[in-house]
Structure 1
Amino acid sequence: MPSAMKIAIIDDERDMRQSISQWLALSGYDTEAFASAEEALKVLGPDYPGIVVTDIKMPGMDGMQFLKKLMGTDSSLPVIMITGHGDVPMAVEAMRLGAFDFLEKPFNPDRMTQLAKKAANARRMTLDARALRRELSDGGQLMKKLIGHSPAMERLKEDILDLGQADNHVLIEGETGTGKTLVAHALHAVGARAGRKFVLLACKAFDEDALIARLFGPSDNAATQLPAVEEARGGTLVLEDVEALSEATQARLLSFIDAEGTPPETRIIAISNIQEQNRTCEDVLRPDLFFRLASLRITVPPLRQRGEDILTLFARFCEQFAEDYGCEAPQVSAQEAAQLLQAPWPGNVRQLVNMAERAVLQARRGSGTITSLMMSDHQEMQPVMTTEGKPLKEYVEAFERMLIDNTMRRHKGSIAAVMEELCLPRRTLNEKMAKYGLQRSDYL
């Protein structure tokens, strides 16, 4: 159980709260005890990083009043109620008001631990979802997720910042695995609609009737969920795999767009995933709909066009997986760096993520190399030169940048440690960091 997950214990009986606290602490939780509900409310805010265990019968504010206060502050906060014999009806009422569960005295400590674990897992999922929503509404954080400083990525970031401020609909094109959905999130987050609804609809996930019902509402008005065009009203509606829309659905969508007028109340971001050669989204959609959706266009660059970004991304992904698996990230040799840069990456960033995870798992076992991983993949992933080969100088510079970046990360921005490991004088290190756009503050 991660130490960050807290359990607040509220009971006016000192012995009871101490025994509960000790037992849960032995089970690996970070506990804090309060003698009254009033005292606990000073600490329990809407994003409290844990759960609550409280007695029902207490002087002053009792458990039921306390529960109502907590539910008014954060309705997702798991609250386990402790009740005396004969108070089960009151506990059932507490469940109706939003309590997570209840324990009847005298209770089995193991049952307490089981409930605490279940509640803590639910709380962690809630907090993670909230953090993700905040991140996806923060334009600055999303732009940081668009990692890389290659000319292709710099152009993409500029396009996102420019088009994000516009009102018209946007068509995002690019190969599978390039991050088109992330770009859609970023377009929404940096624009005027950032605080409004963002509704994502995967068109290929529905058959025609279900898709029309999800987009525009069922004919019998029996749905409990708002249709997507209403749910997203005033915000952004993202249509993934827009090329999957049937003629009938295209006609309905066109009518909706025309009814909204100019500028549209709801912005549509269409994502096209057509991979066939000599075939585009324009070939599939009816012309009047295509030209409305493609009023503004963004093409997300394939990984093979992003140069040294490949090494930067690979290093970041390896670090993340190494942290997840509790091991060291594999070191990339000069030969392996060149092979990563030369590979065509048909699966783009998604494929690079998979390669990084496999490299970390392989390094944890102490066997294999990145080269062997690439050679064991499909023929198209063998590290042969692409048609976009680069001069040797560019490969050397990309490897040098990756080496300095990795070392700075490992030493958390300690210039002295990096100088010692790489055998570089301070002036030379400073010059190379300036050359490659590396800032010490990013590693602290």
Structure 2
Amino acid sequence: MVDRPRVMLVEDDADLAQATAETLESAGFVVEAHASAAPALAALGPDWPGVVLSDLRMPGMSGLDMLDRARVVAPAVPFIVITGHGDVAAAIRAMRAGAHDFLEKPCDPDLLIDILRRAVEMRRLQLENAALRQRLASSVLPTDRLLGRSPVMQDLRRRVAALAGLRVDLLIAGESGTGKELVARCLHDMSARREGPFVALNCGALTEADVDRELFGVAGEHPGRIASAQGGTLYLDELESMPDALQVRLLRVLEAREITPLGGPARAVDLRILGSVKADPAALIAEGRLRADLYHRFNAGALKLPPLREREGDALLLIGHFADEAAARHNLPKPVLSPTLRRQAEYHHWPGNVREARNLAERLVIGLEPSFAPIGGAAPVPVESYDRAMESFENRLLQAALLQTGGRKAEAAELLGIPRKRLYLRLRQHGLA
């Protein structure tokens, strides 16, 4: 028998609560109703299998206050709020605080049921993925997720295992697509904090004001990611994108283990902080994008992730692994890699790293033409013979030299570092004389 979808209804108006419950039960939902926020929160936990549907305007603890607390005790449970007609400001505050969606009173029954069904399906997938991760975690070591047979990957697995149990904050450095968040999750899952939450924030995807609010929180409105990671691990991606003033505040958190949310008092926090950057930390410091004191505070154990081009033999292994996953997900046969494709993979520079290998495998499985990302965003070079390619290159080089010198051949020869006679011969060869 399939479990019926569950909804926790929080509504202080008894008549409205009864009418809403009857509507939802007739649509197949199991409704757990509460007249106030406190008992609802007491029944809520990280593994609660349904969604929350709550009024915002309630006596005692408001729906917004309940939302803030629910984000801490059950961060993955979808929270849908009901606002009074025209109360747009409250709805915006709720969405910024992490609400899944909002509805205006009076709620259209069909719209309410549609939104709840979508939220319940999202919650079902969350729980399925969590169960799958738990089964995988119990059957293999977390470091086994770091795929690769190359010596640099074997060394990385050893370093992750050695650093995971230490009570230190770490900085992870690596190009885009090298698996920085995956390494951070391995460090969390192998640490004493593995029972606590793993909270991630991409600093490069938010404005300065948003990073401030999301990281440190706002008293009475939003707890912030640092508070939400209490007892667990906070992972901050693209630290180099964080403004200098916020880097200073983060340094204080690392040193004093306390935060001061906007409009509230300082309070102690207990968590591990992992940061990551997309370039060499020394270069970022020289460019003024990463504070040296923040880097050295992390540098008790810095991890540098190798790009895929330095992982000899791993590209084909990864393509095969991701192709297996994609074939199972789409219920399609696993593709056979042609000798030409294998050679291309072996010699490719892999500017997109592991993420690029995953995308290529996905294209192979679903029947699209495989494509290799060009280096630095340049147009792909057509396949042609060596002699023809060199001739084309020389032609472009000669034209560029003449353009730069305004057609003055003596200066062009000097710019190219060749005798004038040789330049004249090559120009005649290409019809440029």
Sort the TM-score into its range (normalised by shorter chain).
0.5 to 0.7
- Whole-Å separation in 2 of the counterparts to 1:55 and 1:346: 50
- Whole-Å separation in 1 of the counterparts to 2:138 and 2:379: 37
Corresponding residue number in structure 2 for 1:228? 225
Are residues 1:253 and 2:250 paired? yes
Code of the aligned partner of 2:49: S
- Of residues 277, 284, 293, the one that matches 1:280 is 284
Corresponding residue number in structure 1 for 2:413? none
Code of the aligned partner of 2:349: P
For the Cα contact (< 8 Å) 1:216–1:227, is it kept in 2? Answer: yes
Corresponding residue number in structure 2 for 1:303? 308
Code of the aligned partner of 1:246: P
What is the aligned-residue identity percentage? 31
1:256-271 equivalent positions in 2, closer than 5 A = 256-260=253-257, 265-271=270-276
1:2-81 equivalent positions in 2, closer than 5 A = 6-7=2-3, 75-77=48-50
User: Shift of residue 334 of structure 1?
Assistant: 2.8
- With the length of structure 2 as denominator, give the TM-score of the two structures: 0.56
- Whole-Å separation in 2 of the counterparts to 1:136 and 1:198: 17
Are residues 1:339 and 2:344 paired? yes
User: Shift of residue 260 of structure 1?
Assistant: 2.9
User: Shift of residue 135 of structure 1?
Assistant: 6.7
* SS at structure 2 position matched to 1:175: coil
For the Cα contact (< 8 Å) 2:239–2:277, is it kept in 1? Answer: yes
* SS at structure 2 position matched to 1:269: strand
For the Cα contact (< 8 Å) 2:170–2:273, is it kept in 1? Answer: yes
* SS at structure 2 position matched to 1:255: helix
For the Cα contact (< 8 Å) 1:197–1:236, is it kept in 2? Answer: yes
- Whole-Å separation in 2 of the counterparts to 1:232 and 1:116: 28
User: Shift of residue 144 of structure 1?
Assistant: 2.5
Q: For structure 1, which runs of at least 5 residues remain unmatched after alignment?
A: 10-51, 57-62, 79-97, 101-112, 385-444
- Whole-Å separation in 1 of the counterparts to 2:199 and 2:373: 40
User: Shift of residue 265 of structure 1?
Assistant: 3.9
* SS at structure 2 position matched to 1:288: helix
* SS at structure 2 position matched to 1:6: coil
User: Shift of residue 205 of structure 1?
Assistant: 2.4
Deviation sequence 1:43-75 (CA, Å, 0-9, x none) = xxxxxxxxx96999xxxxxx99xxx9xx88974
User: Shift of residue 327 of structure 1?
Assistant: 2.3
User: Shift of residue 155 of structure 1?
Assistant: 0.7
Deviation sequence 1:369-428 (CA, Å, 0-9, x none) = x5xx349996576699xxxxxxxxxxxxxxxxxxxxxxxxxxxxxxxxxxxxxxxxxxxx
Q: 1:332 to 1:291 in 2, by over 3 A?
A: same
- With the length of structure 1 as denominator, give the TM-score of the two structures: 0.54
User: Shift of residue 243 of structure 1?
Assistant: 0.7
Q: 1:383 to 1:312 in 2, by over 3 A?
A: farther
Corresponding residue number in structure 1 for 2:319? 314
For the Cα contact (< 8 Å) 1:76–1:126, is it kept in 2? Answer: no
Corresponding residue number in structure 2 for 1:175? 175
For the Cα contact (< 8 Å) 1:242–1:272, is it kept in 2? Answer: yes
* SS at structure 2 position matched to 1:172: strand
Greater alpha carbon shift after TM alignment, 351-360 vs 339-348? 351-360
For the Cα contact (< 8 Å) 2:161–2:190, is it kept in 1? Answer: yes
- Whole-Å separation in 1 of the counterparts to 2:167 and 2:363: 42
Deviation sequence 1:85-115 (CA, Å, 0-9, x none) = xxxxxxxxxxxxx9x9xxxxxxxxxxxx999
For the Cα contact (< 8 Å) 1:161–1:190, is it kept in 2? Answer: yes
Are residues 1:240 and 2:263 paired? no
Q: 1:301 to 1:139 in 2, by over 3 A?
A: farther
Corresponding residue number in structure 2 for 1:357? 362
- Whole-Å separation in 2 of the counterparts to 1:182 and 1:246: 25
- Whole-Å separation in 1 of the counterparts to 2:30 and 2:291: 64
For the Cα contact (< 8 Å) 1:138–1:189, is it kept in 2? Answer: no
For the Cα contact (< 8 Å) 1:171–1:296, is it kept in 2? Answer: yes
For the Cα contact (< 8 Å) 1:137–1:195, is it kept in 2? Answer: no
Q: 1:356 to 1:232 in 2, by over 3 A?
A: same
For the Cα contact (< 8 Å) 2:49–2:127, is it kept in 1? Answer: no
Residues paired across the two proteins, number:
286
Corresponding residue number in structure 2 for 1:145? 145
Code of the aligned partner of 2:283: R
* SS at structure 2 position matched to 1:178: coil
- Whole-Å separation in 1 of the counterparts to 2:201 and 2:117: 34
User: Shift of residue 181 of structure 1?
Assistant: 0.6
- Whole-Å separation in 2 of the counterparts to 1:176 and 1:383: 26
User: Shift of residue 214 of structure 1?
Assistant: 2.1
Code of the aligned partner of 1:169: D
For the Cα contact (< 8 Å) 1:135–1:142, is it kept in 2? Answer: no
Deviation sequence 1:227-270 (CA, Å, 0-9, x none) = 22222233221111101121211221122222139xx9422111
Deviation sequence 1:114-155 (CA, Å, 0-9, x none) = 999768735532423533664797694532321111111101
Pairwise CA RMSD? 4.2
Code of the aligned partner of 1:293: F
Corresponding residue number in structure 2 for 1:157? 157
Q: For structure 2, which runs of at least 5 residues remain unmatched after alignment?
A: 6-26, 34-39, 52-77, 81-112, 259-268, 384-433
Code of the aligned partner of 1:239: L
- Whole-Å separation in 2 of the counterparts to 1:53 and 1:127: 20
Deviation sequence 1:173-219 (CA, Å, 0-9, x none) = 0111011010001011111211122221111222222222222233x
* SS at structure 2 position matched to 1:166: coil
